[in-house]
Structures are given as structure tokens and as C-alpha cells.
Chain A
Amino acid sequence: MKTLKRVSFEDCDPFAHLNNANYLTYFLNAREEQLRTNRILDILEHAKETGKSWAVISHNIKYLKPARMGEKLEIWSRMLTFNAFIDLIEFVMIEPVKHQLKSVMHSQLAYFSIKEAKPVKHDRQITQLFSQIALFPDEKINTFQIDNRIKHIKLQLKKQNKPIGTK
């Protein structure tokens, strides 16, 4: 799934590059919007209905090329895999005209009970949903190394005829 986002003045540092912290915000906001727009999951509604939500437990991000002020970027996100408690999401930021890979982030999110503030297992409905949307549902989370994924994504960009959102 992808979102188009222009790099705003307020989000940049004096080099006119997107501030490193703002990559996280761009990525996570894009993901939230993609899930809602594609009617996959409304995180806020899910929280209201079930009392459960997701919390970030780790980020691993590589800044390959600077995202420059004013650039119009594509932000892709996809679930790589998941287990009973945690999802692994991959985020990709590219400049689509030059096919330039700007950044890749891997984030682990834990499912938790808002009231009890502790991790809980994905319920059956969520597990079924994730089984359908995860790119590699049978792989373990620690299988994925960001550097290997970056090589794979760069190959996809080089081929150009294969959309970034596929395996």
C-alpha cells in the first residue's frame, strides 16, 4: 500500500533534509491512513471496540538518501510477518520519478490491552486478517535482516516494471 507525501518545510532541518525523527512520523502516519483507506483496519475504531491496540517496541531504520524539502515521495508499508503478540512492518520511502530509495524502516509492534497496559495475544479475527495481508506469514520475525531487504528493494526499483508493493 502506498501514500504520497510531500516533504514539508516545518519537518526539515537546516540542510533542508527531512529531520531524522520525522521519518518515523511520516511512516507511521502513512501506515495508519493506508489501513483505513483500504478498509483493512481502523486502529482507533478497533481500540474503541476491543480495548486493544498496538505499541511500537522497536524501530530499525536506514537513511540511505536524504528526503529533501518539497520532494513528493511515495511511502509504502507492508506487514512482513507476525506472531501471536508482535507484527513486523516494513516501511519504504522512495522518490518515484528518479526511482531513488530514500529510507527503509522495520518496526515491531506489540498488541496490548489498553486497560491493563500489558501485551496480549492477537485474537482470532486479527490473526485471520494478518494471515491474509502478511507477505511472509510463515516466516519468523528474526528471519528478516534490513540490509537484505534493502538489496531486494533496490533490485525491484531497478527492474521498474515490478511494483514496489509486491514480494
Chain B
Amino acid sequence: MPDSTLNAHHFKAQVYYEDTDHSGVVYHANYLKFFERAREDIIGVKPLATMWHDKGVGFAVYKLSMNYNDGAVFGDLLDIRTTWEKEGDYRVIFHHEAWRPDGVKAAVSCRLELVCLGPNKKLMPIPDLGFLNEADA
């Protein structure tokens, strides 16, 4: 995992009451929504929406692995740190970390592989979007 403090994209995610569960921390699956918002912030909501509405093209998660080290609580403003790299023509790998305020390590880390689906829902090469030019190796 690349050093998450350098060259990472930062996205702030507010933890709301509805994100937490009975144990008082963010429900484990909800981190994926924070990570997805971070990706949309990186790629750009407008180009994604245009791609979807005009061409029926979108992204899908192929596989992911997540590790939970700490639980974020209601009221936390998380720092979602993301780096990414393209793998071949069909895949982008994202590395996400969710950091709590004053955290000394990532509360949750995730490695996620994204592919692109065309209007026929078939796999297609990743389109030429600006964010890939900023990809970290």
C-alpha cells in the first residue's frame, strides 16, 4: 500500500447518525459508500453522470478486500485518502483509507478493483477520463 500521506486524494466524509449501528460505530458496509463518493469526487460527478446518461456507460466493482482497525463514530469527519493505478486496459485498482480525526493509523483500509461496463453491460476498456493521468504507480 502506497504511503497514504503523500500524493493521496483527500475527501471528507461526515459520519451521520444513520451511518452507525447498534454497536455505536459506522456499520461495516457503509464505508464502501464513503469510498465510492471519494472515487466520484476523483473522477468527477459531472463526467460520470454524462457518461451514464449519454452513453449508458458505468463502473462496477469486480473485487475488494477491506480491513477494519477501528470504528468511526457518529460525528466523526473522516478523511478518505485514495490512491489508484490502472492495470491493463480494463481495470483500475483503488486503495482507500478512512482516517478518523487525530487517528494515528487508518480506521479502515480497502483495496478495490473497478471495471467499466458498456450500455450492453459488457466489459469495455476504461474510457479516457482525466483522473487516470493522475494515477499513482
Are A60 and B65 neighbours in the complex by a CB distance under 8 Å? yes
User: For residue B66, which residue of chain A has the nearest CB?
Assistant: A59
Per-position binary interface string of chain A over residues 47-91, scored 1 when its CB falls under 8 Å from any chain B CB and 0 otherwise = 000000101111111110010000000000000000000000000
Of A28, A53, A56, the most chain B CB neighbours within 10 A belong to A56
Residues of A within 8 A of B58 (CB): 13-15
- Indicate which residue in A17, A20, A58 contacts B65 across the interface (CB closer than 8 Å): A58
Q: Does B131 have its Cβ within 8 Å of any Cβ on chain A?
A: no
Q: A61-B64, A114-B23 are in contact. Are A15 and B32 (CB under 8 A)?
A: no
Are A21 and B32 neighbours in the complex by a CB distance under 8 Å? yes
Residues of A within 8 A of B33 (CB): 21
Interface size class of A (residues with CB under 8 A): 20 to 34
Q: Does A24 have its Cβ within 8 Å of any Cβ on chain B?
A: yes
Q: A15-B58, A114-B23 are in contact. Are A63 and B66 (CB under 8 A)?
A: no
Q: A53-B23, A55-B23 are in contact. Are A14 and B29 (CB under 8 A)?
A: no
Chain B, range 54-74, C-beta contacts under 8 Å to A:
58, 60-68, 71
Per-position binary interface string of chain B over residues 25-38, scored 1 when its CB falls under 8 Å from any chain A CB and 0 otherwise = 00011101100100
Residues of A within 8 A of B66 (CB): 58-60
Residues of A within 8 A of B64 (CB): 20, 59-61
Q: Does A37 have its Cβ within 8 Å of any Cβ on chain B?
A: no
Instruction: Please report the C-alpha to C-alpha distance between residue A66 and residue B62 in the assembled complex, in whole angstroms.
Output: 10
Are A24 and B121 neighbours in the complex by a CB distance under 8 Å? no
Are B61 and A20 neighbours in the complex by a CB distance under 8 Å? yes
Instruction: Please report the C-alpha to C-alpha distance between residue A60 and residue B65 in the assembled complex, in whole angstroms.
Output: 4
Instruction: Please report the C-alpha to C-alpha distance between residue A28 and residue B52 in the assembled complex, in whole angstroms.
Output: 31
Instruction: Please report the C-alpha to C-alpha distance between residue A21 and residue B64 in the assembled complex, in whole angstroms.
Output: 10
Instruction: Please report the C-alpha to C-alpha distance between residue A126 and residue B134 in the assembled complex, in whole angstroms.
Output: 50
Of A15, A22, A25, A53, the most chain B CB neighbours within 10 A belong to A15
Residues of A within 8 A of B68 (CB): 55-58
Are A22 and B29 neighbours in the complex by a CB distance under 8 Å? yes
Are B60 and A25 neighbours in the complex by a CB distance under 8 Å? no
Of B28, B30, B58, B71, the most chain A CB neighbours within 10 A belong to B28
Q: Which residues of B contact A (CB under 8 A)?
A: 23, 28-30, 32-33, 36, 52, 58, 60-68, 71, 117, 121
Q: A24-B29, A58-B68 are in contact. List 11 more A-B contacts (CB 8 A).
A: A14-B52, A21-B33, A24-B28, A24-B32, A28-B29, A55-B68, A59-B65, A61-B64, A61-B65, A63-B62, A66-B60
